[in-house]
């Protein structure tokens, strides 16, 4: 039996580019590598983290990159926590146009399903691309018979309703030209069994999400100006514990700068520093990567930035290919 082009590409190297997926860039090249190319259209992703781990910031950068890739696409951002700062979001990239819809008055589970269903219907594969961000799943609540949010409910009831929401919308997302990003907060796993942290809302998202990205704040970034020490950003670790697009259990670190977002160039150069010979093609010493990243970013040296990204992706793929079997077991 002749092998298809897609089957040939997956033998020995999972990371060769194909036409199977259309990706939305994350805003961080190394994170795109971790994800297997970015966030795929027609799939669900789950961003998980504690407070101050850049969950909302990550979703804003995805919206900014979606708009660059799909100028006529539609964006829905549902703020289920009623804590979204639109002005700050626009500073770090939230598109401010008539095709971006910020929903800040909906927390009901049934109403959320209706909005998501409408989004998938509008984002048809042959017409309009779409991105729907729910921030966060933890903010959703059951509605009573009158449509008002339920004042009294138990966790099992809420989990059942959210499981139903995810199960029903999954097939619609897969048939559409839309990416659904769902943000979750971590919860302590009380009881002493299994992982230390978990998420609320039942188990459906664990099964239906194609990517589950766990964010952890590693440290605060500080600098001194005129003898005053202040925090100007954080260093975040992103671990993709589930990945149906690329290989799972890959991770990376990236700095998040307040009022700016992810420092893509430093994240690339810092990762290349960790790889044997990684910085050789860039021609930068390990001790100089911070200054070089700032130089080509502030100076908007697009040629140098492109080279850093290309070298990062190529070396990442070379390293990954080295860990994979060179032949298929059953062919």
In the chain, the DSSP E strands lie at 23-24, 39-40, 44-49, 74-79, 100-103, 130-135, 178-188, 197-199, 211-225, 228-243, 250-257, 261-262
Residues 6+ apart with CB under 8 A from 225: none
4-29 in b/e burial notation, b at 16+ Cβ within 10 A? eeeeebeeeebbeeeeebbbbbbbbb
What the block records as the tokens of 236 is 């975040």
CA–CA separation, 257 vs 244, rounded Å? 30
* pLDDT number for residue 6: 44
> Would you put residue 37 in left (φ > 0), alpha (ψ -120 to 50) or beta?
left
pLDDT number for residue 146: 58
Residue 281 DSSP label: T
Q: Which residues pair with 102 in a beta bridge?
A: 77
Instruction: Decide if 325 contacts 285 (C-beta within 8 A).
Output: no
Domain ranges (residues) in the chain: 19-257, 263-324
Q: Output the pLDDT for position 5.
A: 40
Angle between the 264-274 and 302-323 helix axes, to the nearest 10 degrees? 40
Residue-by-residue pLDDT tens, the chain, 331 positions: 333 344 444 444 454 445 679 999 999 999 999 999 999 999 999 999 998 999 999 999 999 999 999 999 999 999 998 888 999 999 999 999 999 999 998 999 999 999 999 999 999 877 899 999 999 999 999 987 555 776 666 778 889 999 999 999 999 999 999 999 999 998 656 565 656 666 777 789 999 999 999 999 999 999 999 999 999 999 999 999 999 999 999 999 999 999 999 999 999 999 999 999 999 999 999 999 999 999 999 999 999 999 999 999 999 999 999 998 888 889 7
User: Would you list the DSSP string of 80-147?
Assistant: TTS---HHHHHHTT---STTEEEE-S--BHHHHHHHHHHHHHHS-TTS--EEEEEE-GGG-B-B-TTS
How many residues does this entry show for the chain? 331
CA distance 30 to 20: 21
Label residue 150 left, alpha or beta by phi (over 0 means left) and psi (-120 to 50 means alpha): beta
Question: 286-295 long-range contacts, Cβ below 8 Å, gap at least 24?
Answer: 290/266, 292/265, 293/263, 293/265, 293/266, 293/269, 294/266
Homologous superfamily, domain 19-257 = P-loop containing nucleotide triphosphate hydrolases (3.40.50.300)
**Which among 212, 118, 104 has a CA at the least distance from the CA of 169?**
118
How high is the pLDDT of residue 33?
A: 97
């Amino acid at each position: 039996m002749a092998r298809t082009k897609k089957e040939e590409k997956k033998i020995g190297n999972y990371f060769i580019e194909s036409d199977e997926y259309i990706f939305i860039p994350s805003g961080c090249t190394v994170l795109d590598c971790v994800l297997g190319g970015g966030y795929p259209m027609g799939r669900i992703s789950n961003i998980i983290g504690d407070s101050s781990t850049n969950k909302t910031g990550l979703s804003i950068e995805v919206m900014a990159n979606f708009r660059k890739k799909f100028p006529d696409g539609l964006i829905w951002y549902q703020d289920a926590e009623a804590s979204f700062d639109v002005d700050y979001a626009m500073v770090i990239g939230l598109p401010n146009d008539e095709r971006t819809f910020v929903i800040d008055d909906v927390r009901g589970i049934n109403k959320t399903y209706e909005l998501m269903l409408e989004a998938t219907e509008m984002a048809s594969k042959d017409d309009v691309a779409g991105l729907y961000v729910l921030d966060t799943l933890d903010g959703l609540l059951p509605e009573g018979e009158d449509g008002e949010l339920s004042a009294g409910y138990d966790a099992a009831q809420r989990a059942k309703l959210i499981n139903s929401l995810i199960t029903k919308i999954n097939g619609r997302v897969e048939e559409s030209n839309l990416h659904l990003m769902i943000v979750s907060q971590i919860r302590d796993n009380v009881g002493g069994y299994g992982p230390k942290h978990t998420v609320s809302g039942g188990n459906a998202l664990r099964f239906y999400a194609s990517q589950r990205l766990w964010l952890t704040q590693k440290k605060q970034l500080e600098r001194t100006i005129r003898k005053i020490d202040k925090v100007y950003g954080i260093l975040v670790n992103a671990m993709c514990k589930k990945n149906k697009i690329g290989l799972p259990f890959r991770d990376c670190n990236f700095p998040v700068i307040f009022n700016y977002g992810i420092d893509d160039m430093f994240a690339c150069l810092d990762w290349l520093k960790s790889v044997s010979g990684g910085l050789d093609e860039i021609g930068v010493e390990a001790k100089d990567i911070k200054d070089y990243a700032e130089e080509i970013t502030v100076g908007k040296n697009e040629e140098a930035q492109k080279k850093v990204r290309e070298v990062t992706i190529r070396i990442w793929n070379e390293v990954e290919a080295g860990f994979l079997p060179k032949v298929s077991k059953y062919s």
